[in-house]
Amino acid sequence: MRMAFSLVGILVVIGIIVLLMNQSLSNVQTGLKAKKDLEEKGVGALTREGREQAAKSMSLVATPGTGKFRSVTVESIVPGGVMQKHFGLQVGDVIVGTGGNSFDTVFINDGEDAINAVIEARGYGKSISIKRNGQAMELPLPATSDRRAVPVPTH
């Protein structure tokens, strides 16, 4: 009789453990799905991992000039990397601002500040202002069937 109660007790404990594990697995799956959804929307871009991915997907250099800091130039871009996918950056693009503000009108002192501003623009869903082949434009481009660069009027 004692053995039967012990066996029943063990089976109840095992049942509770299985129930808790099943519920935990469900919560983990829900969390992973939510994380994936946020990453697809670009929200994960501000995490340390997201910033590192963005930084590794491009190489920017301060554009030589005199006086106040004005721009960075895309020296290299990883094909299919996060910054190319998000903004459509190309080698030779000259980035002159983010979020509709040019670097010479905001508190950007050097190339490192500008690079951080470009990476943060992706995370906050802001646009970047560039010059490509002498034409000013805003990236990312609106969703179109061919995603070709469309010139944007400058002030």
Asked whether the predicted pLDDT for residue 32 surpasses 90, the reply is no
Q: Could you tell me the residue ranges of all domains in the chain?
A: 2-41, 47-139
Comparing 79-93, 113-127, 136-150, which segment has the lowest mean pLDDT?
Answer: 136-150
Q: How confident is the model at residue 145 (pLDDT cuts 50, 70, 90)?
A: very low
Closest CA to 73 of 88, 82, 61: 61
According to CATH, the topology of domain 47-139 is Pdz3 Domain (2.30.42)
State which amino acid sits at residue 44. G
Q: How confident is the model at residue 137 (pLDDT cuts 50, 70, 90)?
A: very high
Q: What is the pLDDT at residue 135?
A: 94
Note the pTM of the prediction, 2 decimals.
0.62
Tokens linked to 37 = 């959804």
Check residue 150 and give its pLDDT. 46
Percent of the chain with pLDDT over 70: 81
Q: Which pLDDT score, from 0 to 100, does residue 3 have?
A: 80
Q: What is the pLDDT of residues 53-78, one digit of tens each?
A: 888 889 888 877 656 778 889 999 99
Tell me: the pLDDT tens digits for 84-97?
Answer: 988 899 999 999 99
Contacts 24+ apart (CB under 8 A), 127-130: 127/98, 127/99, 127/100, 128/87, 128/95, 128/97, 128/98, 129/95, 129/96, 129/97, 129/98, 129/100, 129/102, 130/89, 130/93, 130/94, 130/95, 130/96
Amino acid at 7: L
What is the residue-wise DSSP string for 4-24? HHHHHHHHHHHHHHHHHHHHH
Q: What is the reported pLDDT for 147?
A: 44
> In this structure, how many other beta carbons lie within 10 angstroms of the beta carbon of residue 72?
27
Q: What is the SS3 assignment for 52-105? A: HHHHHCEEEEECCCCCCCCCEEEEEECCCCHHHHHHCCCCCCEEEEECCEEHHH
What value does the mean pLDDT take over residues 16-39?
77
Say whether pLDDT at 34 is over 90: no
User: In whole numbers, what is the pLDDT of the chain averaged over residues?
Assistant: 80
**pLDDT > 50? residue 146:** no
